[in-house]
Amino acid sequence: MTQQLSPTERSTIRRGSARARTERSDLHEVLDASLICHLGVLVDGAPRVLPTGYGRIGDTLYVHGSTGARSLREAAEVCVTVTNVDGIVYARSAFHFSVNYRSAVIHGRARQVTDPDERWQALQVITEHLAPGSWEHARQPNKKELAATAVLALDLTEAAVKIRSGGPVDEDEDVEAGKAWAGVLPLETRWGAPEPADDLAADFEVPAHVRDRRYSA
């Protein structure tokens, strides 16, 4: 048995419901494939959307930031959205142009993480999500750095996953007219050559976890 997402009123997909996915494994895949999320919070009654890194342990998403960041301090009801763009869908009509994408929209009440062990694990997965292999390679946080870092947890219970793939869906008469090109222009993302820091020793070899990193999206 695979686990199903449990849609609530606000996580039920109404527009383009053919693209909705209901498996929890789809949610995990979308989250694991992207580098950053967009965190939506309320500040003074208005929405604020900020790009930030994240990490995942099971069905909990973690984000971190400065303890001075207002968006993290005041976060309560939040929305975290992760979007992978896979290509542009060219249709015969402007109306049917689209984007191939895999996205997840998560709603919930963010929890400030205060337990030292959970904070440590959260910082580890956030670092590993951004740069796999780096938690063990780099120096881990010291007391002062920990004190300056706020960690928020978000339960993944209430989430909507949408995936669009494949070619355009055109009107029959436009297909028959045959006047416009139609198809997909795929977007490809990959890592370039590592660029050593200016203050790195010239003979410091690029470690395997950087050199061999694969783009997972």
Site for a copy of itself in 23-82 (CB under 8 A): 35-36, 38-51, 53, 65-66, 68-70, 77-81
Site for a copy of itself in 152-171 (CB under 8 A): 167-168, 170
- Residue 201 DSSP SS3: coil
Q: Which is nearer to a copy of itself, 29 or 168 (CB)?
A: 168
As a whole number of angstroms, the distance between CA 107 and CA 72 comes to 16
Number of residues that bind a copy of itself (CB under 8 A): 97
CB 92 within 8 A of CB 177: yes
Measured between its terminal Cα atoms, the distance across the chain in Å is 26
> Binding residue for a copy of itself (CB under 8 A) from 25, 97, 212, 216?
97
Site for a copy of itself in 108-137 (CB under 8 A): 123, 127, 130-131, 134-135, 137
Q: Which is nearer to a copy of itself, 3 or 138 (CB)?
A: 138
> Binding residue for a copy of itself (CB under 8 A) from 6, 196, 212, 216?
196
- Residue 33 DSSP SS3: helix
Query: What is the 8-class DSSP label of residue 137?
Result: H
Smallest gap, in angstroms, from Cβ of residue 60 to a copy of itself? 19
Centroid of chain to Cα 198:
30
Residue 149 binds a copy of itself (CB under 8 A) = yes
93 Cβ neighbours under 8 A, 6+ residues apart: 170, 171, 174, 180
> Binding residue for a copy of itself (CB under 8 A) from 94, 114, 116, 202?
94
Using the contact rule CB under 8 A, the part of the chain among 18-26, 54-62, 90-98, 111-119 near a copy of itself is 90-98
CB 23 within 8 A of CB 116: no
Using the contact rule CB under 8 A, the part of the chain among 17-25, 54-62, 111-119, 172-180 near a copy of itself is 172-180
Residue 7 binds a copy of itself (CB under 8 A) = no
Residue 145 binds a copy of itself (CB under 8 A) = yes
Q: Which is nearer to a copy of itself, 3 or 95 (CB)?
A: 95
CA dist 21 → 61, 104, 107, 143, 159 (Å): 19, 10, 16, 42, 10
Q: Which is nearer to a copy of itself, 60 or 104 (CB)?
A: 104
As a whole number of angstroms, the distance between CA 54 and CA 169 comes to 34
As a whole number of angstroms, the distance between CA 97 and CA 183 comes to 10
